[in-house]
Amino acid sequence: MDARNVEAEKPSVRAFSGARRWGATAAASFITAYALDLFATGLGLLVVASGLLSGIGYVEALLLLLASYVFWGSGLWAVIKANWALLQRTGACTNILAKAGHDLAVRLGWSLGWRKVAAYVGNTATELAKEAPYYIGAGGVALFSDSVSAIDAIVFLAGANAGAAIYGFALARGLGFFLARLAKRGVYASFDTEWEPGAYLKEYYSEIEPEERDTIAFFVDAMKDADRTQPALVFGVGPTLHHVFLAAEKVSEIHLGEYLPANLHEIERWLGRDPEAHDWRRFVEYTLECEGLDRPAPEEITFREEMTRARITNLLHVDLRLENPLGGEGPRQYATVISAYCADSATGDKSEWATYMQRIAGLVRRAACC
Ligand SMILES: C[S@@+](CC[C@H](N)C(=O)[O-])C[C@H]1O[C@@H](n2cnc3c(N)ncnc32)[C@H](O)[C@@H]1O
User: Which of 78-82, 98-102, 158-162, 365-369 is least confident?
Assistant: 365-369
E strand map for the chain = 4-8, 232-235, 254-258, 312-317, 336-340
Collapsed DSSP state (helix, strand, coil) of residue 110: coil
What's the rounded Cα separation, in Å, for the pair 146 and 168? 33
* 234 in contact with ligand 1, CB cutoff 6 A: no
Share of the chain above pLDDT 70, in %: 88
Q: 142 pLDDT band (50/70/90 cuts)?
A: low
Q: What is the dihedral of CA 56, 59, 60, 63, to 10 degrees?
A: 150
Q: 2 pLDDT band (50/70/90 cuts)?
A: very low
To test the pocket of ligand 1, the residue of 342, 344, 347 to mutate (highest count of ligand atoms within 8 Å of its CB) is: 342
To test the pocket of ligand 1, the residue of 191, 205, 266, 321 to mutate (highest count of ligand atoms within 8 Å of its CB) is: 191
Identify the pLDDT of residue 14: 42
* 342 in contact with ligand 1, CB cutoff 6 A: yes
Q: Report yes or no: 325 and 318 within 8 Å, Cβ to Cβ.
A: yes
pLDDT at 170 over 90: yes
Cα–Cα nearest to 229, from 252, 255, 247: 252
**Cβ burial, residue 113 (10 Å; 0-12/13-18/19+):** exposed
Per-residue pLDDT reduced to its tens digit, 53-79: 888 888 998 999 999 999 999 999 999
Identify the pLDDT of residue 57: 86
202 C-alpha to ligand 1 centroid (Å): 16
Q: Going from the N-terminus, what domains does the chain have, and what CATH number goes with each?
A: 4-12+195-361 (3.40.50.150), 19-186 (no CATH)
* 240 in contact with ligand 1, CB cutoff 6 A: yes
Cβ-based neighbour number of residue 261 at 10 Å: 11
Which amino acid is residue 81, in one-letter code?
K
User: Which of 177-181, 269-273, 331-335 is least confident?
Assistant: 177-181
User: Which of 22-31, 143-152, 293-302 is least confident?
Assistant: 143-152
Q: Which residues contact 130 (CB under 8 A, 6 or more apart)?
A: 33, 36, 37
258 C-alpha to ligand 1 centroid (Å): 7
188 C-alpha to ligand 1 centroid (Å): 10
3-state DSSP helix/strand/coil % of the chain, to nearest 5:
65, 10, 30
- φ, ψ of residue 349 to 5 degrees: the values are -95, 130
**Cβ burial, residue 152 (10 Å; 0-12/13-18/19+):** buried
254-258 vs 312-317, strand pairing mode: parallel
Per-residue pLDDT reduced to its tens digit, 34-49: 999 899 989 988 998 8
Which residue's alpha carbon is at the smallest distance from atom 27 of ligand 1? 238
To test the pocket of ligand 1, the residue of 256, 259, 318, 356 to mutate (highest count of ligand atoms within 8 Å of its CB) is: 259
Which residue's alpha carbon is at the smallest distance from atom 26 of ligand 1? 238
ipTM of the complex: 0.99
* 53 in contact with ligand 1, CB cutoff 6 A: no
43 C-alpha to ligand 1 centroid (Å): 47
What's the rounded Cα separation, in Å, for the pair 235 and 318? 8
pLDDT at 143 over 70: no
**Can you tell me which atom of ligand 1 is nearest the CA of 205?**
9
What's the rounded Cα separation, in Å, for the pair 56 and 1? 77
If residue 351 lies in a helix (H) or strand (E), which one and from where to where?
A: helix 350-361
What's the rounded Cα separation, in Å, for the pair 253 and 307? 10
* 86 in contact with ligand 1, CB cutoff 6 A: no
* 319 in contact with ligand 1, CB cutoff 6 A: yes
* 159 in contact with ligand 1, CB cutoff 6 A: no
pLDDT at 183 over 70: no
Share of the chain above pLDDT 90, in %: 58
236 C-alpha to ligand 1 centroid (Å): 4
pLDDT at 370 over 80: no
Q: 1 pLDDT band (50/70/90 cuts)?
A: very low
Q: 239 pLDDT band (50/70/90 cuts)?
A: very high
What's the rounded Cα separation, in Å, for the pair 203 and 209? 10
* 286 in contact with ligand 1, CB cutoff 6 A: no
CA angle centred on 19, ends 15 and 21, rounded to 5°? 55
| Average pLDDT over every residue of 160-187 | 84
8-state DSSP, 111? -
Q: What is the CA radius of gyration of the chain?
A: 27
How many Cα neighbours within 13 Å face the side chain of 168? Answer: 23
Q: Report yes or no: 196 and 16 within 8 Å, Cβ to Cβ.
A: yes
Contacts 24+ apart (CB under 8 A), 59-64: 61/151, 61/154, 61/155, 61/158, 62/154, 64/154, 64/155, 64/158
* 259 in contact with ligand 1, CB cutoff 6 A: yes
Identify the pLDDT of residue 295: 94
pLDDT at 213 over 90: yes
Q: Report yes or no: 336 and 230 within 8 Å, Cβ to Cβ.
A: yes
Average pLDDT score, the chain: 87
* 138 in contact with ligand 1, CB cutoff 6 A: no
What's the rounded Cα separation, in Å, for the pair 90 and 210? 22
